[in-house]
Each structure stands twice: as structure tokens, then as C-alpha cells.
Amino acid sequence: MAIFTGAGVAIATPFDDNYNIDYKSFGKLIDFQIENKTDAIVVCGTTGEASTLNHEEHLAAIRYCVNHVNKRVPVIAGTGSNDTRTAVFLTRKAEEAGADAALIVSPYYNKATQKGLIEHYTYIAERTSLPIIIYNIPGRTGCKIESKTMAQLVKDVDNIVAIKDATGDVTYTAQLMYDTQGDIDIYSGNDDMIVPMLSLGAKGVISVLSNIAPEDTHNICAEYFAGNTDKSRDLQIKYFELIRALFCEVNPIPVKKALELMGICGGHLRRPLTEMEPEHTERLRRAMIETGILA
């Protein structure tokens, strides 16, 4: 059984004026998601700026999210690291906190071999009972998980059950379905490719767009699963320019600006991320108005 189907939000981590986690705004954002049909919450991922959180903050954010969600939807904790031991530590702590699954990014910077990736993920999986979603995003990590490597991991390791595919390559997705014979749950890691990936058998999306348009991102998936492919496609196209605007600077700079424009939380970012450029902010604002998110 899939950890979730539909749209899981890759939730942002709000910071206050002193760049500490703003838990009041975090709770507000979580409630906004659940009230607007988000199917799962992915905490402390790329969009959550996990790379700038120390271990104490990282685990505190996971605990807060699990407790605030209170079983209303699944909570998936980002617990990846380029150090296998650190990934084990974070994953075990997330399990203790009550997370429903772990999202574990491929090791960045080290650029492991495919053999190294198999050993990395197997070692982590053997030390937790959580179901694991492997996160394949070579554009960020410099390390691509080949489809045959995924097929071997899914075959040999019981609790490796899914992949967040952010390769941006539908041929890779098709190859993955072929190599695994469909014995894997795939989630799109790209908001502009939800419908194409659903057509190849994906279970949904782990979404940046969901931060600001949770109901319609959910509906892209729900309409597709209901057989209303035209409605699903039309929603995908409706948000095309907004999705482009959300990635006109590196994620999560634009989505945090969007949340600020909506009044949900401040747009504070931890360095080395910086304030969005004015012309990009205006592009984002226009796209939010065109889709009805802003008046």
C-alpha cells in the first residue's frame, strides 16, 4: 500500500526575524495545507531548507510537524545526508518522533558509485522500520540513481518502497517502471510534470506548488485518478507559468516569497539563499494573480 496518493507538500520551514524556526507560522502553514486537501506533508526536505538546519533544529521541526499534524495526514521526514551514519541517526530519530516514512536524498557531493548507493541505502534501511522514499535529484546532488539500481534496491530491501523522481526525464520514469515491473511507488518531484508522470503510473507528486495552491495540486491528481484526464491536464496547464515563476530562482526562494505575499509567513531565508530579485518577485506576483491566489 502506498504511503500516500495525491499531492504531498514539500513544506517550507518559516523563520522569524532572528532566523529561528517560527513555529507559530509553521503551525499556520500546516493547518492551511490540511484544510485545503494536501494528502501528505514532507518536512525538512529541500524546500524546508534542511541543509541549513543543525541536527537539533532538524529534529525539533520533525517532532513539531508530527505532533501538530496529529495523524490527520501522513508525515514524511527528510532524513538524508551525504554521510550514511548521519542519515541513519536522523532516520531513527524521525521514527522515534512518530514520522510515517522517511525521504532520503541521494548522497550529495561524494558522487557515490551505483554500488555505493546500494550499500548506502541498504545500510540505512536495515536500521529503521520506516518505509523509505528515495529522492533522486541529480541536478542538486551530482549523483544519479540509475533505474537498475533502484530496481535492485526495491527487490532486495523490503522497506525501500518508493522514489521521488526529480530527474525531469520521463524516459527515466518509463525505464524505472519497466525495470521494476511496476513494483515501486513513484512520486513526481517536478510540478510541471505531474500529469505526464501520472500517465506512467506515478502515485502523485511531492510538490513545491502545494505550499501555495494545495487544493488544486491535490485536484490535479484526484481528477486524473477519477478518470477526468482533461480536467487534470487543464489544471496542470493553468499553473504552468506560476510553476515556472516558482523556479525562476533556486527553490525555496520564490515559494517563500509567495507565502509572504499571501500573509501566511515571513519570507526569511537562511544564507547562502538571498532575497528574491525585484523583477522575479513581480513575475511571481503576476502569476499568482492570474491563477487567483492573490487578488
Q: Domain ranges in the chain? A: 6-228
Neighbours of 17 (CB within 10 A): 8
Contacts of 228 (CB under 8 A, 6+ apart): none
Active-site residue (options: 164, 203, 256, 257) = 164
Element (DSSP H or E) covering residue 243 = helix 240-246
135 counts as catalytic: yes
Give first-to-last CA distance, the chain, whole Å.
Answer: 40
In tens, the pLDDT along 18-56 reads: 999 999 999 999 999 999 999 999 999 999 999 999 999
The H-or-E segment that residue 165 falls in is: strand 160-165
251-281 pLDDT tens trace: 999 999 999 999 999 999 999 999 999 999 9
- For 125, the grid coordinates are 534501511
Q: What is the mean pLDDT of the chain?
A: 97
Instruction: Tell me phi and psi for residue 46, to 5 degrees.
Output: -60, -45
CATH of 6-228, one of 3.40.50.10090, 3.10.20.740, 3.30.70.20, 3.20.20.70: 3.20.20.70
pLDDT category, 1, cuts 50, 70, 90?
confident
Single out the catalytic residue among 37, 121, 135, 256. Answer: 135
pTM: 0.96
Cβ proximity of 26 and 34 under 8 Å:
no
42 forms beta bridges with 10, 76
pLDDT number for residue 217: 98
C-alpha grid cell, residue 197: 508522470
